[in-house]
Structure 1
Amino acid sequence: MPFVTLINAREIDRLLPMGACIEVMARALVDLERGELSQPLRSVFVLPGAEGAMAWMPAHRAGPQAVFGMKVLCVMPGNPTKGLDSHQGQVLLADGETGQLRAVLDASAVTAIRTAAVSALATRLLARANACVLAIVGTGVQARRHLESIPLVRPIARVRVAGRTREHANKFAGEAAARFAFPIEAAENAQAAVRDADIVVTATSSATPVLAREWLAPGVHVNATGASRPTHHELDLETITDACLFTDRRESLEHEAGEYRLAVEKGLITDSHVAGELGELLTGKRQGRTSDDQLTLFRSLGLAVEDLAAAEYVLAKATESGSGITFDF
């Protein structure tokens, strides 16, 4: 009988610190670039006549320690009003030789940490070295995680945050202030938040743009982490067309990034507009920022290989420390 380890959100939060996850994501994206990790596009079932969707995200690691990974995720936009993360589900790990189940992990925790870690990695690769003013559009789980991750890679001295309402922003800033040494200000709206910012994070589920090119200062770096659905977009078309655009995976960008697809459909850009993938930056195949005035954009889609790599790391740490619940299955 195989042994299966069950790892909950609290354990994942302890076993996968943000700094470690940034390095895990860097290795994963290099492995993806080299073909050691692979994945298809995610499959999404949108609930007919209701808000919400279910997604399946499989991945595979080749080699002597072969592993299958699968994230099964329900995305429920109404959850934040109930005090819940909008992303609910599980990450499964299975032996790459036998297919036997090895671990089940809370997907909300894995997704929240690895998404912010990949944005921090993109920021490390693309933002100006002296970037110190951070703006966050959004006040949910991803906003909180990005507030944790971005200061690990740049000397953040000030933060402004905007939410759907000023009350949301005030609540976020008040709760976060006790955790960080730098000031955190609640902005009136997204335009006020991003004014003169060096780094911008959009972390919303909006189907319509929350960020306009005309609001952005020269030399800003933007991490766009919103919904990976072709009908949704957080950015206006001018931001996409003007930016030096990077992503985690071209195929995902072309099929799942609404603002990118719309810009292509309107003939504003072609596929050659994509400057590269993060894995290509990490392996030296592509060049990143070329000037201090350049607008750089990381359009994050979220990859199954990132979930697999994060889950592998957590399982290894859980095994070392005797964490989680292990049972016959």
Structure 2
Amino acid sequence: MDSRVMRLFSIVLLGFGTFVQAGVVNGENSMKTAFLGPHSQVHRPSRATAGEFRLVPDPILILDYHNGPVMTGKEDAIKLFVVYYGDFAPKQRLTLRQFFKSFWRRRTQWPASHPTVEKWWQITRLYVDMYATPVARSMTPAGEIFNRYSLGKSLNQSNIQDLVVKSFGTFGVDARSMYLVLTSADVEVESFCNNVCGTHYYTFPSDTTSSQMVPYGWVGNAATQCPSMCSWPYASGGNLQTPLVAPNGDEGIDGMIITIANILAGMATNPYGNGFYQGDASIPLEAAGACQGVYGPGAFPGYPGELLVDNSTGASFNVYGAKNFKFLVPWIWHPTTLQCAGQV
């Protein structure tokens, strides 16, 4: 695809730890929602703590519905297409693949005491559109592409869209699917580490998108560029002086999974900027962003909360995935309880 220049209309930085950027890419409108480091302080729903007394309770946060679609997928499943840009080691690819496979509906019925990625994702099922249709029950890995630096090692956000549009030639174009670009640790991306850990966009209908609005996201590996910002709590930061042990032995990849989960939840519940979010459309606070930095009970800014610990490795996590892999995912705002939750 020909190179393009992004002309930005506005950039808004928020105390929430989230900003949006609206503009025109090669004459096509697009929207980006970006996420800062997971230990940034945000305003989030009040959570009751046993034995805690507050003179002034925290305000309850409501993510309003703005009459737009959510990602319902096809046959109650969202196809996920992934572009790996740069250099990903085989073990890194394996960890990411197992995470993506963890969204499938499994035959095994786990007890409530066994938290899983699947049961985490089911919280998004509580987000429904104006026709009472919920977010798709499952997400299915449907294809992947490996791109070794075709655009170099320094990218801007329009380059990310270039990679997505180019992938349509392999994956096809489907507005009911999600497209995700992952960049390796040696790739610099516009705003990465300075402002954001990942973004999600959509494109307006055009010839290159077969007249469809296509949602897509990007997440970078922060292992060498800003681990304290985008790999926390597997890197020190906030009130955490000693980083936690990453469950898959790679602070960059385990940190990416946190942001990927955040991005996927945001795309599913607010794919086009008119779904579920709090506040003005120019400063949206989305499903997982509302619970930013919350991974377990008792969390507060700079402290992830009470997590599970693998006795054999000492690694901290909060959900099990495919083949018993272990991951850390952010909690999601629960539309029924109006609180952050990690499982349905």
TM-score (norm 2): 0.27
Q: Which has the higher contact order (CA 8 A, sep 6+)?
A: 2
Q: Which has the higher helix share?
A: 1
